[in-house]
Each structure stands twice: as C-alpha cells, then as structure tokens.
Structure 1
Amino acid sequence: MRTAVRDNARLSRFELYVDGDHAGHVQYESRNGQIWLLHTMIDRRFRHARLDTYLVGNVLENLHKRRLSVMPFCPVVRSYLAGHRELTALIPASERSRFRLIPARTPRAY
C-alpha cells in the first residue's frame, strides 16, 4: 500500500492518498500564522486500516517542520496529541488550556 499526504492549499485541507485514491483529509483554516485543524475524514473504504492516525501524524509533522502553530479543534487531532505529548508544543502556550487532551480509551485486557 503506497500512501502520500499532500497539502491542498486551494481546498484548505491535507489530503491522504492510498495507491492513488483519495482516502481522506484533514480540513483546516489558516488564521494569523496559526493552522486551525477542524475536521478529519477517512473514506469508509479505508477505515479498517487506521489511516486517521497516520494522516494526523503526517499533518502535525508537516506543520512542525514549517514552524506553524496548531489549534486542534478536531477531536481526532486532540486524541492524537494526547498520546504524543511532545507535540503539544505546537499549540501556543497561551491556548493549551483551551484544549482538553484526553487519550483515547483503550480496551482492557482480561
């Protein structure tokens, strides 16, 4: 499975492609040097592959390299950040308390 993540600035979204097919995207808005991550969508055909975490991880890495601040309004992005605390530095310090970064629940082993 070949994957690629591209910033489609015209549509304000990071797009995920799997073997050339559009598999999902993260919608965003750019405001005052900040990127507001609004919504993550993965096509039904690809939900079994857990590509949401792959996509969000790539988006955050891209934004980190570009030294852009992140406002994680999307619950999928917030969940990812909760599990990767080192990336919370992408959120402006004055805004961090605004976002509750609660890790996604994992099933208990019995």
Structure 2
Amino acid sequence: MQVITNNFGASQYDAYVDGAVAASLHYQIQDGEMWLLWTTVSDSCEVEGLAERLIRDALADAHKRRLAVRPFCHEVRKIISAHPVYLKLVPANEVRRLHLTAVPAPKETKELATAAA
C-alpha cells in the first residue's frame, strides 16, 4: 500500500510503501513560494511511478495552499514540462528557464542525483 504525507517538521513529502519511506521530495517555503529542491527514491523501491505520484501530490498541495512553485529538482521540472497544467504554479519569469533546463544531458542527471544523495 502506498501513502504520501507531508512531513512538515522535515520539510519534505514522504511516500511510504508497506509502512517504510520509499521516496521523499524535499522542499522549502519562502515568501509565498514552495521551492521543490530534490527527490530521493530508495534503491530497494521498485514501485513504478512512485516519484511522479509524490511530485504530483506536492504540486497539488502547493496549488491548494496558493503557493507558487520554484522547481529546482530535475524530476519536478520534467513533470511540469510534460504536464502544462502545472505551469500556472511557476512564476512567469521562471517558465522560460524551466523549459530550457527540463531535460539535461544524461551525465548531468546522474551527477545531480549523486549530489542530492
């Protein structure tokens, strides 16, 4: 069973699979904006689409809370670019940069994931 919760104390959304944290999306709230910083997924987690579900829940929560979203996380940028409905959450001055950085080279993606871990 999958459950996603907002762990306010740690400033992260956690995805639980069978009672254990399988993925997390770290964020920071600042000046009416939610900065989505990085996503981590447990190596032992093999649940297809879990990271995307986690990110979509965080974006829906930002919308409900009327927070703008600054997507620093590569995975978040990819999902926002793939689903334009989320673009309304991104400040107008960030939308162009979002499209330019949504799909970095594979080597860069691996380096970002390693740096975040």
TM-score interval (norm. to shorter): 0.7 to 0.9
Paired residues, number = 103
Cα RMSD (Å) of the superposition? 1.8
Partner-residue secondary structure (3-state), 2:45:
helix
Structure 1 stretches of at least 4 aligned residues deviating more than 3 Å after TM superposition: 101-104
- What TM-score, normalized to structure 1? 0.84
Unaligned runs of 5+ in 2: 105-117
Instruction: Output the amino acid matched with 1:45.
Output: S
Superposition pairs for residues 12-51 of structure 1, below 5 Å?
A: 12-51=11-50
Q: What fraction of aligned residue pairs are identical, expressed as a percent?
A: 33
8 Å contact from structure 2 (residues 81, 98) kept in 1: no
Q: Which segments of 5 or more consecutive residues in structure 1 lack a partner in the other structure?
A: 105-110
Encode CA deviations 1:60-85: one digit per residue, 9 max, x unaligned: 11111111110000000000111101
Q: Does 1:70 align with 2:50?
A: no
One-letter amino acid matched to 2:77: R
Q: Does the CA contact (< 8 Å) of 1:37 and 1:71 recur in 2?
A: yes
TM-score, structure 2 as length reference: 0.79
Q: Residue 9 of structure 2 aligns to a residue in which SS?
A: coil
